[in-house]
Each structure stands twice: as structure tokens, then as C-alpha cells.
Structure 1
Amino acid sequence: MPKTIIFCSDPIDPKVADAAFQREADAATALGVSHLLIDHEALDHRHDTKAALRRLRVDGPIEAIYRGWMLRVEDYALLYDALEAKEVRLVNSPDQYAACHWGPVAYPHVAPWMAPTAWIAGDEMDDDQALAYTLAAFGDGPVVLKDWVKSQAAGYWEEACFIPSASDLAGAKRVISRFRELQGNSLVGGLVFRAWRELAHIGDEVMEWRVFAFDGHPVGCWPRITGMIGDGPPKEIVEAVCAALPSHFATADFARLASGGWLLLEVGDGQVSGLPEVADPQHLLNAILGVSPLR
């Protein structure tokens, strides 16, 4: 079981955790758990593990969990290897990180609970025949577009995310073109298409819950927005999905359907998935580290 946590340091004051993770760093302190700091920008922007770990002082061997900003799979592998050289072993191997971070790799493990999904690789994005073949699986139905990690749903739903009819190749290409323009060099892997499902909302917000899973078991389940009404996803679905996730520490995001029932929206690596505002960080850390609050 991991015994320490590695946070991203603050870009201005590298001696403290990034403000986005300070709540979790405070929870770790309250639990008597040691935590370490790394420079995310050095790793993410410059791929420089020496600079990223320059303040790291460890007395290994130890097992650790990273709680920080998202990393490309390649940069996570660099971090994993650099830490292992210092006798620090992260909870998820690079393969396990990719297995939940990349949608097409995760999908076979969790397909029974998700909307039908198909994808094309990066070298096929300009191949109209490959695109038409992939979209044909959805008939005339609407689909949602993303890359292997992210979408443009938040700010550009109609122009770069939602394709009203999968059979309208010209319309699909317009959405894809705008999506690729917005993603730029940050586009990961290729294009992922998922059958659209109408979701339940509170105002403009989707009724969505995030589950954290550790070693195949749920260790926390919280709504992703404040003021959520009603219960979260059923226990039996949560447990089945968690048992299917192909890594030690992962997340699963569920949404209530407008017609009733639940849909698994996404899975992710637990180390780079944000903690909902309503979540108790001490509860999560206690569950994955096996510690209790100091008295």
C-alpha cells in the first residue's frame, strides 16, 4: 500500500503544493502522511525529469501516489522511471496509466456500461474512407467527438463536439476540422466517437458523479457539482465497473440519463483526476493509504 503522496508544486512558490491541490496536502498533513513536491511544468513543458525532481528528497524504497495535473502518457513514463531510479514506486505503472487515461485502451474493459464508441488513429484522421467506415457504425444517430483524452464540450459543444448525424459525412468533417483546430498540438492519439445519450441536468449542469477506485473497489463516490439532488449511481453498477478497471488507482464518471438509469461517461487515472468540491480529501487518502487522523 502506498505510504506517501507526490503533489505538483506551486509555480510561484515551489516549496508548497499547487493551490489546486493544497486541500489534499492539508489533509495529508492532518493524517500524518508525508508528501513530496515535483515541478509539473518542467516535466510537462520541457520533459526534464531532473528539473522536475530537483527538490525531491527521499529515503527509499517507498511506494507513492501522484496527485497532480494531467500528464501525457510519455511524460508519465518519464516520471515513473525517474522516481523508480530514486527507489520511489508509483502506484500505477505507465501501462496502467495509459489503460485508463486513453479512451480506446480503457473502452474494452468497461464497454458494457458505456455508450457505443469507435475511434480512428491519428494517421487516419484525413482518410475519408476510414472516417465514413467508422461513423457508419452509428447509422443516422448523433455522436460526440473527442480525442483519446479530452473533448471541446465545455466551450464549443455545437461547433467542435456534437455531430447531429453520423451519416452526414460533410457535417461531421466540419465539426472534426474545428475540433482539430482547437486542440492543435495537444490532440492526443486520434479521434473518438461516442453515441450521444440525453443526460439529466440540474440547470445547465449534468447530474454527474465521480467514483474513485483502488485495487478494484470503490473508495469514494461524490457528485461533481454542489447542490446535487438524489442518490448516486447504484452500488452494484459502481462495484462492477471498479472491478473491471485495469489499474490500481482509477476513476469512473457516471451520469444519470434523462430517461432514468445510469451511464458510464469516462474513466481516468486516479492520480490525475480532480477531487470534487464536495469530496472529503481525508476520506479518500485514508482509504488509499490506510491511515487514520492524528489525535
Structure 2
Amino acid sequence: MLLFPADVMRPRRVDEHFAEEARAAREAGHPVALIDHDAASRGDAEAAVARVPAGDGAVYRGWMLGAGHYAALVRALAGRGVSMRTSAEQYRRAHELPGWYAAIADQTPESVWTSGDGRDDFDRAAAVLGSGPVVLRDYTKSMKHYWHEAAYVPDVADTAAAWTVASRLRELRGDEFTGGFVLRRFEELGPAEVRTWWVAGQCRLITAHPDTPHDPPGEIGLAVLGAAITALDLPFVTADLAPHADGRWRVVEIGDGQVSDRPRGVAAEALITAL
């Protein structure tokens, strides 16, 4: 069964953003059910799954949920006899950087993180990286559209300036701030990212990134990354890659595939078939 968010104004219909995927799922013979995303995101999981019929295995395709809210959703669905392919623990590991970083540490920018948003922990993390430019985010998201204001730190050794950027990141993330600050060493990467889709440790689909949908992916060697993804033992993830100036492909982000956006121009049927 495929679970999609319901349209806010027409709750018996799939949210328009996911309507093509729902159509493709139905045409492929998969039942489709609706989740009330607003209820799920405020923690009312029972209300969120009220329209989901009893069933067996299910995969969610929808808007991002915090790991705690996803866990509540899994519990509420279990009460209806529905078992999610991705467990709450697996979702957190894929969704939050500390869960996946160790497996691919040699294929992604060096990173350290804090627990919480305190200044002392931030300064200690900055000291680990020493000096040089870094990019800030929390466990799940950066504010890259506020690059100089809330993401990029020219020199992490300037702790006062770094904290100013971190404070602005914290302010912009508001109630959605997750876990703590992540400090990632800045690397010069190409602007056009590639999104790779992995099911049970196998790369099933390679697409453009949603931010650069008109830049088709080129040739990518995935053998080394594939071994790391397999070791993560996660049922459905995405890995976003970008080319380094020296020719290597670097991992920018890993995410849970259930809440990873499908780029425009990629047929819904391709993703449903991959799943």
C-alpha cells in the first residue's frame, strides 16, 4: 500500500503534488490510502491515519515529518494492522545526519555536530574543525537559500562570527530546528547535484536533483557508495551527489526516500517501478 498526504482543501483526494505518483501506483495495482499530514505534523497520529484501511505492508510518499512524528505514525498504523516498510528507527537514521554520517564519512565533507543549540557545545565542535570555511545546518536541513546569513562561515576559527551565523540559522529554523548544529567542512562542488534512489541497498533510479531538474545526470561510479549504502541497511533512501573539482563524486546528503522530492521531468511510473 502507498500512503500519500491528502489535499488540505479536498481531504478525499491526494495532495496535488503527489497525484501523479498515486495514479501510477493505482495503475500498477497498488492500493493507495490518504494521510492527514497536518494532523501527523502536530502529533495527532490517530487522526492522521483515520482514512487508512487495515492492510499489510506500506510505504509513505509525502511531505517531510520529524522523526518523532513519523514514529507516532508508525505506531498508529500498527494499531490498524499496517506495517511500514521503513521502521521509526530506520527513518531517523536516514533522515538525520548523525544516523548516516559514519557509514560514508570518507565520501562526504568532514562533519561534527552538537546535541542541542547551546553556545558551549557549538564552540567545542568548531574547535574540532580548527579553521577554514564551513557550512552550517541542523540534523535534517540547512538554510542554503540564506547562504551568507545562515549557512556559510568563512573561517570557523572566528567563533564570534560563526556563532552569529549559527544563531541566525537557529532563528530561521524555529520550531523545526532538529537535534543540534552540524558543522560541515566546505568543499568546492559543482552546482548541479544528482539524486540517486536506493531500495534495499540497490540503486534503482538516478535522476536530476529537484533544485536543478533540467541538468540531466552524467556518468557516476557508484560501487564504493553502494557498499556504504548497503551497510546502512535502510529500505528506501536517497543520496544526493555533486562533483568535486578533482573529479570525485561527493555525497551532499542522504535522506529517507519516503520524503525525498521527485524532480520535475521524472515520470511517476519510474519511481513507483523502482519502489
SS of structure 1 residue aligned to 2:123: helix
Give the structure-1-normalised TM-score. Answer: 0.88
Structure 2: gaps of 5 or more residues:
none
Residue 239 of structure 1 and its aligned partner are, at CA, apart by 2.2
The match for 2:32 is 35
Q: Is the partner of 1:17 in helix, strand or coil?
A: coil
232-241 or 276-285: which moved more?
232-241
Structure 2 match to 1:216: 201
Q: RMSD of the alignment, in Å?
A: 1.5
Matches within 5 A, 1:59-70: 60=55, 62-70=56-64
Correspondence list, 1:1-295, <5 A: 4-45=1-42, 47-58=43-54, 60=55, 62-122=56-116, 125-127=118-120, 130-154=121-145, 156-200=146-190, 206-224=191-209, 225-228=212-215, 231-288=218-275
Tell me the matched-pair count: 273
Residue 131 of structure 1: how far off its partner (Å): 2.5
On the 8 A contact 1:209/1:232 being kept in 2, the answer is: no
TM-score, normalised on structure 2?
A: 0.94
Distance (Å, rounded) in 2 between the aligned partners of 1:74 and 1:229:
35
CA distance in 2, matches of 1:151, 1:194: 11
The alpha-carbon distance between structure 1 residues 79 and 230, as it changes in their structure 2 partners (threshold 3 A), is closer
Q: Percent identity?
A: 36
Gaps of 5+ in 1: 201-205, 289-295
CA shift, 1:68, in A, is 0.6
Query: SS of the counterpart of 1:170?
Result: helix
CA distance in 2: counterparts of 1:165 and 1:38, whole angstroms:
44
Contact kept? 2:53, 2:80, Cα under 8 Å:
no
Partners of 1:237 and 1:28 in 2: CA distance: 32
User: Would the aligned equivalents of 1:223 and 1:232 in 2 still touch at CA under 8 Å?
Assistant: no
Describe the superposition over 1:112-143 as per-residue Cα deviations: whole angstroms up to 9, x where unpaired: 21110000110x6232xx32321123222100
Q: Which amino acid aligns with 1:145?
A: L
Taking the aligned partners of 1:278 and 1:240, their CA distance within structure 2 comes to 29
Query: 3-state DSSP class of the match of 2:181?
Result: strand
Partner residue, 1:291: none
